[in-house]
Amino acid sequence: MEAKKFYTLEEIEDKYIGEKGTPKRDAYEEELNSFLIGEAIKQARQSKNLTQEELGNLIGVQRAQISRIENGKNLTFSTIARVFKAMGISA
Q: Which segments of 19-62 does DSSP mark as H helices, in order?
A: 23-47, 52-59
Chain-centre distance for alpha carbon 17: 19
Of 59, 66, 77, which Cα lies nearest the Cα of 41?
66
Q: Report d(CA 8, CA 76) in Å as an integer.
A: 31
Indicate if the alpha-carbon torsion angle 58, 66, 61, 31 is positive or negative.
positive
Residue 1's pLDDT is what?
78
- Top-level class of domain 21-86: mainly alpha
C-alpha 7/C-alpha 34 separation (Å) is 25
Give 2-51 pLDDT, tens digit per residue.
899 999 999 999 999 999 999 999 999 999 999 999 999 999 999 999 99
Contact 19, 25 (CB under 8 A): yes
Report residue 91's pLDDT band, with 50, 70 and 90 as the boundaries.
low
Q: What is the pTM of this model?
A: 0.81
